[in-house]
Structure 1
Amino acid sequence: MRRLLKYAVVGGLGTITNEAVFLSSVRFMPIIFSLAIAIEVSIIFNFFMNDIWTFKDKRVGNIWTRLWKFHGSSFSGSIVHYSVVIAFLFFLFHFSNSSEVLLFLLSSYAGVKSLFLATVNFLGILSGFSVRYLTSIKLVWG
């Protein structure tokens, strides 16, 4: 239970990191890129925090091997996170044709409220949490 709590604290800090990167970058780059960058930055942040705190007694192999494994274990959770965000935005913006979808994917969101984007991104983060925890504990530090 203690390890899960530590993992959740790191995840909370990773969520703040993810939201900060996402909300600052979505203003000047397409959402598909800013979301991917935010996910990657938070994966790297979470790896180092988990490696030095949550799972420091479970380290196997060198840091680069663990980082590689963590990326692999985070992949499925990242796909869930990314897909949930894109699906929510598609659903909420009610696209009527393929050109609107393409414009959506390749546009920045200077006109969309930050709270709205943060909420949608947070739902994506939550959706990937359990997948990331289970794969991390089994594949990286297990």
Structure 2
Amino acid sequence: MEKVVFNKLLKFAVVGALGTVVNEGIYVYASKVIPISIALALGIELSLIFNFFLNDIWTFRDKRVGTFIKRMVKFHGSSYLGNVIQYVVALVLLIYMLHYTSLSQVLTIIFFVKQISANTLILTNFLGILAGFLVRFITSYKYVWA
């Protein structure tokens, strides 16, 4: 891998690590008052905005093309697949780790407020974040800041 790409990947990973803290914090705290499915989506979206700002001013500062709004829309669009991967992986792992087998249990966890251990939420979401990371980097590097 060429040095420039490696440096961008390293910076992207640092931003992602900071975004992970934002994502996990919002997810865990929001899940105490709103359904897990909504808390997870909220954590993903707010961390995505956070990551965009940091990537725009640091990681890809030298590759800015178009307006700020255009880059942000492209970043959201390019991150969509990674976000879906994260969301699905996190929820599937959560259901698996809680040993839920009935449809009513699954629907309860997705659509209603239910107290679940913060450690379980953090672990399953983190694995989802890892699953979406590579997709987000490739689309950011090849599309958003190309």
Name the TM-score, length of structure 1 as normaliser: 0.95
Partner in structure 2 of residue 140 of structure 1: 144
Partner letter of residue 47 of structure 1? F
Partner in structure 2 of residue 77 of structure 1: 82
Alignment of 1:79-118 (within 5 A): 79-110=84-115, 112-118=116-122
Asked whether 1:9 is paired with 2:14, we answer yes
Partner letter of residue 50 of structure 1? N
Per the TM alignment, residue 12 of structure 1 is displaced from its structure 2 partner at its CA by 0.5
**What root-mean-square deviation, in Å, do the aligned CA atoms of Structure 1 and Structure 2 show?**
1.0
From 110, 130, 134, give the equivalent of 2:134. 130
Partner in structure 1 of residue 23 of structure 2: 18
Partner in structure 1 of residue 3 of structure 2: none
**Contact 2:31–2:39 (Cα < 8 Å) also in 1:** yes
Per the TM alignment, residue 93 of structure 1 is displaced from its structure 2 partner at its CA by 2.4
CA deviations 1:34-79 (Å, max 9, x no partner) are 0000000011000000000000000000000000000001000000
Q: Distance in 2 between matches of 1:96 and 1:45?
A: 36
Partner in structure 1 of residue 66 of structure 2: 61
CA deviations 1:2-60 (Å, max 9, x no partner) are 11111111000000000110011011110110000000001100000000000000000
Q: Distance in 2 between matches of 1:55 and 1:117?
A: 31
Q: Which consecutive residues of structure 2, in runs of 5 or more, have no partner in the other structure?
A: 1-5
The share of aligned pairs that are identical, in percent, is 47
Q: Distance in 2 between matches of 1:106 and 1:141?
A: 37
Partner in structure 2 of residue 27 of structure 1: 32
Paired residues in the alignment total: 141
Per the TM alignment, residue 97 of structure 1 is displaced from its structure 2 partner at its CA by 2.6
Partner letter of residue 93 of structure 1? L
> Runs of 4 or more off by more than 6 Å in structure 1?
none
Name the TM-score, length of structure 2 as normaliser: 0.93
